[in-house]
Chains A and B, each alone.
Chain A
Amino acid sequence: MSLAALAGQEGAGAGFHPVLPWLILALPLLGAAVNGLGAFLWRDDKRIPTIVGPAALLGSFAVVLVNFIGMSGAELHGAEVVRLWSWIVSGDLSIGVDLQFDQLSMLMCMIVTGVGSLIHIYSVGYMRDDPGYSRYFSYLNLFVFFMLVLVLGASFPLMFVGWEGVGLCSYLLIGFWYENREYANAGKKAFIMNRIGDAGFLVAMFLVFMAFGTLDFVPVLAAAEGTLAYGGALVTGITLLLFLGCTGKSAQIPLHTWLPDAMAGPTPVSALIHAATMVTAGVYLIARTSVLFALSPVSQGVVAAVGAGTALFAASIAIRQYDIKKVLAYSTISQLGYMFLAVGVGAFTAGVFHLMTHAFFKALLFLGAGAVIHAVHHAWAHGDDHGDGHGDVHHGDPNDMRNHGGLRKFMPRTFVFMWVATLAIAGVPPLAGFFSKDEIIWYSGAYGYPILWGVALATALLTAVYMARLMVMTFHGGNRTFGHRGAAEAGRRLHEVPAVMWAPLAVLAVLSVVGGWANIPEALPLLPTVEWLHHWLEPVFAPAIAVKEAHGFSPEYRSPVGGGEALWAGISAAIAIAAVVGTVRALSPKPVPTEAEAVAPTGFARVLHDKWYVDELYDRAIVRPSLALWRACWRIVDAGIIDGAVNGAGRAARLLGWAGGQLQTGRVTTYLVAFMLGALLVLGVLS
């Protein structure tokens, strides 16, 4: 197939047929295989991974783009399913390796391969000096492969393949520098916490199969309304279990603690996996099964409440973090909370919209942070002739914002791009985040959740504050990389990152600006693309919206305290701008202590700094008791009771044998008595 054939399709304006669907998956997989082989065979040759890694992604992106264009020109209602081969067939259960092409999956593919390509290119610069270069690209390509399986999978189990596959890659990449015990632990923690959610996903699948007799999305979603009672226990159970899976994958309360630890991985990984793509899989899952969620108002409420709660909770922690990546990690959790709020209240498009814009600006923020870390790390490393080695002991943590400051002078491009992303996430018009976040806030009010609406607004304020704080601490004021008086040395050693790294930043910056224009609200018709995304996704979400409307859930176009969409858009924009300006004003004059000089915060600030002690709580309440129980099982039940019984039986047999042996005195008389008695017995029986 080629573009010409595609043009033919477009001309026909009729059905959509995916072009080379398998290639979308095959290219990243091939890349992973080649790079993986390279990790063993040509470990020191960096040319092949440099080419193969990004090329696999770009190729995949190209195929996706062709299909995306083809789809936009075609009339497609429902989904186009392509079967590659049949996978698990047993009795009445039949699961194929089927790829589902619809507007939602194509949009996600665009995000995954597009942002993924940029991050691959960036990685070429970021990971240049790493000895595990080839292995890194292998994992990264493999991740994209699994992410695409997740997105394109046409059935619950196939999606689950991607779902756990990305978890695996996340595990491998978080623990990429496996020699550091902390990093390896973080990877393990991520995998296990994800597995808790995955167990929920699995049980949800079993329920779906019980109810529908199939696990393919298309028939399940089509039959959902007829099969499951609205608000019934079954659909609520299914959706809540699915949501349990989402909380694991998307780091929502109560399974959120792995994501901040996951920052142990290389920064581009954080950008790709832990910001732009994998962690949004939960949102994607809910969007994919929107009909099921629409059928259960209880689940919807739970999703929305957990989302809003997580958003506020994580934002509060982000305010008091010093590690630049931790701030962004909590920011990600918070933004994911927004997305769940959106899909929870029923504004599925808004959720996906925020997913998209978030992918742009959060990837940009992470890559920018990576650039900063890269620069600081190199500044320190070069002075010491200390080639590799991560986390330089002489100076401290390159991630710590107290070791940054005033980087504006040394990294002007990064500085600009980061500010673009900051304004975007803070919700300053006309950048991407303004449109997407505002839509979520608006709909949460419009669908009649006043408390969640208030929480969302408060979170918006906090978002602007912590992001502005991050920018001030990193780029403004005086430089602290070499202490307060190390300006000269800093000038010599701190440099802007190479083009291969800032170029992707530039692209993402552009996307962070224009990304929001994909779905201009009707109330603010500033551009001709009014509600474009809404229309694009309509075929996917129409059934769910229909279900909700049939049961009286339709948005009232006013906020809980009155006022229309345009007014409240203005108000939230004003809040964002005011918060950003106020924070910059408030923090800029204050001198920041370096990491070495810092004193531990006290009071409530300390609670926030220590992340509300959730990790400690889990450790005391779950991890340690579990381990104690497990040890008891081993030592007491297994070695004590069961083996005790077994060995006891053996000992009893031996005792019996010993007792029998005592009869054998070796004296003739004993034997004679026994013999006589025996003879007596025989005679007695005879007589």
Chain B
Amino acid sequence: MTTTTEPTPSQAAAMRHAKAKDRKKSSGRLMIFGFLSPTLIILLFMVAYPIISLISYSFYNFSALNPHEGYKWAGLDNYSYLLSDSALWKRFIFTGKFVFVCVSLQMLIGIFVGYQLQKAFRGRDVIFTMLMMPMMLSPVVVGFLWRYMLNSEWGVVNYLLSGVGITDVGWLSQTTPALFAAAAADTWMWTPFIILLATAAFRGIPDTIYEAAEVDGASPAYKFFRLTLPMSAPVLFIALILRLIDSFKQYDLFFALTGGGPGSSTETVSFAVAKLAFSYFYTGEASALAVILLFIIIGLSMILVRHLNKMGEKY
């Protein structure tokens, strides 16, 4: 078994050193720079540069129609004008209401369905996959689809509701129903996201925790509120933040579903920016409103990233 003819390791090592050239240790700096720079360049050019220019535009009063002249320094006029404009506050309030209704509805339904889907039954995975489809569709298609279904004369929704005694609701013609119409479409699209994260949160809890609880004689309700919910809170919080950000900046759905109507009652903040910039071409003011919107979203994203990193370490 012993291989006596073998050169002793140190001699073998000496032979090999001649063969292997002593390359200096590349500290990986080159790889870091080489791999990161393309992504950094494109993002700086397509994101950082536009945001900085937006911020500078928001201090000027000019219009995109004739950008060459009319660079009048407006200081904070744009901001003060916006913040004093009651129409704008109405839009902020509407967006707030919309976000509140959507997110609370989606969290409730999502957690409920996610919890029920935890128990394995035949065909669960197929149903689960199919339930995920709505969030993958283009908001424009969803908008039109719901506009077709919610039509007060020939919409299928009114037909189904008349069956239970609620007759022809003007979904798209009255302000409050329009809010709930938009919320219904957004909830239809994004509840699957909450179901997905809730299922992941519940599956993240090891079985031994439930076995320990069973051995400790905890009732199902006690188990859910004292164990399942608190232990899945971090993931559910991430789901909440993500939904807050996405529903706050919703634009495509409104464009297709209500077009901002009836009147301007369902115009969100995003809508207002689009209107200011591309209908009235008040670019200065539009930039100011855009900057306000950006800071709200960036603020929410900071909270999100902190929790994502904390979650990243836990896994």
Whether both chains belong to one complex is answered with no
Residues of A within 8 A of B (CB): none
